[in-house]
Structure 1
Amino acid sequence: MENTTAPTTPTTPTMDSDGSDDVLISGGGIAGPVLAHWLRRGGFNPVIVERAPAPRPGGQNVDLRGAGRTVIERMGLMEQARALTVDQRGLGLVDRRGRLTARMPVELFEGEGIVAEIEILRGDLADLLYRSTAHEAEYVFDDTVTALAEDESGVSVTFERSAPRRFALVIGADGLHSTVRRLAFGDDGGHFKPLGGYNAWFTVRDEIDLDGWFLMYNAPGGLVAGARPGRLPGEVKASLSFRSAPLGLDRRDTAAQRRLLAERFAGAGWEVERLLAGMARAEDFFFDSYGQIHLDHYTRGRVALVGDAGYCPSPLTGLGTSLALVGAYLLAGELAAARAAGSGHRAAFARYEELMRPYVTRSQELPPGGMNGYAPNSATMIRLRAASMRMMGRWPMRTILAAQFAKAGDIDLPDYALAGAA
């Protein structure tokens, strides 16, 4: 394994079976670097293996809200995160001709609504977290885990490119289609809950008049097109979603995915033709199904899962980033506390699950209407959706929506007294 940051890291456990310093984290996106940051402060040696050849740029907007924002603040990164914020006025619904039919200004829910006060491109947040942890963790890019062999004293890990290596613990922070989850927990068929749709994200470099708004368009047949300002001039972050039963598409066949979207959205109206033309040229095209991960336990043996790998809530909730940040903080904090108390990883894993489970359960509750509300099938339901949004600032809709948005902060984060540790 080639070390990109050159710290001295032992290749075998150096303490007793529950006290080794070496922890492998699979996934270098959001949860992985945050976990590494807090593990280092707890006395561990984190190693991050990431399938991509470098930190992934671009991506769509994610938000910092509630307890997730608190984690970033405790890392001392809030000022830098705010400097990367994408300026957006709020969410607006448009009709086929581009006329606004409803809107939700960012101020409506005190900056905690569908469009939050702190919106940041996923790639910008991932880059910030990577740069802030590059000296704290060993990063290994362009590689992935292929096998895990656990025994009483640790886990022997086989990699696609690097030589086998030994770790005390392995953490899967590798997303919805987690390799670590598959290897340690078995077939994904019983873990993944489809929500009845697919979504594509990509960047369009076109002069679509957004006037600072995140604009969303619904067309009959469960079609949804979205366009929101990027951070750079002339950059539009686009999305295309549609209702569907599972299609059995090859996740790696992006050409087939683009063809499918072009067929589904042909003649849909609004700015969709321009979005489709931009999609054909986009270098950051990403396509996936809407779904959630449900597990009876987030840990097994010496393996734990964090973020989407363990409890993906789906983009419909807007809480995936919060779960990733909070889960990484809690897992690292409990491991450090258990290590200091001499109680080992089993106690830490149990406490992690105890703290995280209620937060995950609430965060995975879908907004009113779920997929039906997000992607209505008929013109009548589309009109009703716009009418509902126009009522969101009034009772009872305001109360219902406020409760949904408040879930991001619905947990008391322990203070593990790690922030000042070197």
Structure 2
Amino acid sequence: MDSRSILISGAGIAGPTLASWLSASGWDVTVVERFDHVREQGQNIDVRGVGRQVIRRMGLEDAVRDRHTGETGTDFVDDTGRPLAGFAAGADDTGGATAELEILRGQFARLLHDHSAAGTEYVFGDRITGLHDDGSGVDVEFDHGAARRFDAVVVADGLRSRTRSLVMPDARVEELGLYTAYLTIPRTADDNDRWRVLTCGQGRALGLRPDNLGTTQASLSFVSDVRGLDRLGHDDVVAVLRATYADVGWQGPRVLEHLDDDSLYFEEVGQAKLPTWSRGRIALLGDAAYCASPISGMGTTLALAGAYVLAGELTGHDDPRTAFARYERILRPLVTKAQKLPPGAPGIAHPRGRLGRGLFRTAVRAAGSPLLGKVAGLASRFATPPAEAIELPDYPMPAQRAVTA
């Protein structure tokens, strides 16, 4: 019997994970990525709960651990950088604002690409421009390459996927009113192994996180009633950030100094809440299907679990439409819980006024208190996403090769 063919759009986290499982199961897998290389930039991400189970089954847990960022916990600080409350990194698969297993997104993407590359055709620097599903297969048109036909197509290229609009032109992103800028800055003697967060007032926050590269990962996040700032050009984005954070002390001037560096990435935070994740022989995966936003702490876990479940169902069913329906039915409960953000988020962590800022600081002090936090369970509720909300099926798929280097 000839192997079945599948095209995956997106070489981030979900796409290569799906490629690994399907290629190991005998599928003819192609991944198309609009960038001309694996994007090795990106901030800290965590792997929790069922996501951790997936990388174990892939033989990748030790390799991820070898690339740990070194972050030991989270501190909320005052305007001078003095800790107001601290939370240790999680000690198990799920808990902690800082997970027990943290890795830079770019390093994880590279690891997943390399793990899947031997059995996958990667096409970089191209994108899908047309999808034509005739019921027995999908004819795909590309911006640069020749048209090709596949048994199924999976779109895994992000929250604001252009490819998704070819399948579901009515899909909309639920905006959360939050913007975040990420950048890498030189490490200084003042930096440590903690994720330090300053609520700056007027709807703003600033964060600094360690990495394993000898640099520091910085973030600037702010709430705004204005939509579309992420569509501005680089110079305009820099101007907005400089104006927004002009009066912020502590590490504010240091971060602003490096906004013109090449690492700057700016996004408007949102969620994808779609009534269905597939149409015919075309399915959505990862953020394109069910982005829960960085606020949830569940993005990577959802990508890994979704890819594993989708691969298992595709391998077990001849008709991809049946597999897509089962994938959604199994994963939807986990997504629903992940997308349920803390009450008031994101505004509660980005207070606009003095009163809100004071209340937030009081809350984190209470949650971080060894006595009150433990008695009231505040720390657990504050820092434990629902990463074990489902039990992963045990699919009869080939074991993955272990990678430790």
Other-structure match for 1:292: 271
216-225 or 240-249: bigger deviation: 240-249
> For residue 222 of structure 1, what is the amino acid of its counterpart?
G
Match of 1:376 in 2: 351
1:308 to partner: Cα distance? 0.3
Give 2:82's aligned residue: 99
Checking the alignment, whether the CA contact within 8 Å between 2:90 and 2:97 is kept in structure 1 is: no
Residue pair 2:160, 2:173 contacting (<8 A) in 1 also: no
Instruction: Choose from 338, 357, 367 the match for 2:332.
Output: 357
Query: Is the 2:42–2:106 Cα contact (8 Å) retained in structure 1?
Result: yes
The residue that corresponds to 2:41 in the other structure is: 58
Q: CA deviation at 1:107?
A: 4.5
Match of 1:87 in 2: 70
Query: Secondary structure of 2:386's match?
Result: helix
Q: Is the 8 A contact 1:198 1:243 kept in 2?
A: yes
Alignment: residue pair count:
396
Partner of 1:320: 299
Distance 1:109 1:346, change over 3 A: closer
Asked if structure 2 preserves the Cα contact closer than 8 Å seen for 1:218 and 1:382, the reply is yes
Bigger shift: residues 90-99 or 295-304: 90-99
Structure 1 runs, 4 residues or longer, greater than 6 Å off: 108-111
Q: Is residue 2:284 matched to residue 1:305?
A: yes
Letter of the structure 2 residue corresponding to residue 105 of structure 1 = A
2:134 matched residue in structure 1: 151
- Provide the residue aligned with 1:180 in structure 2: 163
Matched, 1:279 2:259: yes
Distance 1:160 1:345 in 2: 26
SS at match of 2:167: helix
Distance 1:167 1:185, change over 3 A: same
After superposing the two structures, state which structure 1 stretch, 264-273 or 383-392, moved more: 383-392
Aligned residue identity for 1:260: V
Give the 5 Å matches for 1:64-75. 64-75=47-58
Root mean square deviation, CA, Å: 1.9
Confirm or deny: 8 A CA contact 1:203 1:279 kept in the other structure.
Answer: no
Aligned to 1:401: 381
* Secondary structure, aligned partner of 1:296: coil
Instruction: Tell me whether 238-247 or 316-325 shows the greater mean CA deviation.
Output: 238-247
Which runs of structure 2 are paired with 1:320-359 in the superposition (5 Å)? Answer: 320-339=299-318, 344-359=319-334
Is the alpha carbon distance of 1:336 and 1:30 closer, same or farther for their aligned partners in structure 2, counting shifts above 3 Å?
same
Shift of residue 409, structure 1, vs aligned partner = 1.3
Partner Cα distance (1:206, 1:396) in 2: 37
1:240 counterpart (217, 220, 233): 220
Could you tell me how far 1:345 is from its partner in structure 2?
A: 1.3
Helix, strand or coil at the partner of 2:375: coil
2:210 corresponds, among 219, 229, 233, to: 229
1:80 deviates by 0.7
Match of residue 193 from structure 1:
174
Q: How far apart in 2 are the matches of 1:230 and 1:279? A: 19
Report if the CA contact (8 A) 2:95-2:380 is conserved: no
Q: Deviations over 1:222-242 (max 9, x none)?
A: 011101111112x01000011
Distance in 1 between residues matched to 2:80 and 2:94, nearest whole Å: 29
Supply the distance in 2 between the matched residues of 1:296 and 1:78 (Cα, whole angstroms). Answer: 33
Quick check: 1:104–1:389 contact (8 Å CA) kept in 2?
Answer: no
**Aligned position for 2:197:** 216
Task: Give the aligned partner of residue 239 of structure 2.
Answer: 259
Conserved? CA contact 1:49–1:139, under 8 Å: yes
Task: Judge which range, 74-83 or 89-98, deviates more.
Answer: 89-98
Q: Is the 8 A contact 1:42 1:333 kept in 2?
A: no
Shift of 1:277: 0.6
Map of 1:3 onto structure 2:
none
**TM-superposed deviation, 1:208:** 5.7
> Normalising by the residue count of structure 2, what TM-score does the alignment of the two structures yield?
0.93
The range that moved more, 55-64 or 34-43, is: 34-43
Unaligned runs of 5+ in 1: 1-13
Give yes or no for the alignment of 1:205 onto 2:205. no
- SS of the residue corresponding to residue 247 of structure 1 reads coil
| Structure 1 pair 250–122 and aligned structure 2 pair: CA distance change class (3 A) | closer
Q: Which runs of 5+ in 2 are unaligned?
A: 368-372
Indicate how the Cα distance of structure 1 residues 298 and 70 shifts in structure 2: closer, same or farther if over 3 A, else same. same
Distance in structure 2 (CA, Å) of the matches to 1:373 and 1:273: 24
The 8 Å contact of residues 94 and 388 in structure 2, kept in 1 or not, is answered as no
1:413 to 366, 369, 392: 392
d(CA) in 2 for partners of 1:345 and 1:110? 32
Q: Secondary structure at the match of 2:216?
A: strand
Q: Distance in 2 between matches of 1:99 and 1:374?
A: 18
Q: Who is 1:270 aligned against?
A: 250
- Give the Cα separation in 2 of the matches to 1:293 and 1:211: 35
Query: Matched residues in 2 for 1:109 and 1:37: separation?
Result: 26
Residue 368 of structure 1, CA deviation: 3.7
Structure 2 SS opposite 1:82: helix
Structure 1 stretch displaced more, 137-146 or 93-102: 93-102
Q: Quote the offset at 1:379 in angstroms.
A: 2.4
SS in 2 for 1:290: strand
- The residue identity in structure 1 corresponding to 2:250 is W
Q: Which moved more, 1:376-385 or 1:50-59?
A: 376-385
8 Å CA contact retained: 1:194, 1:246: no
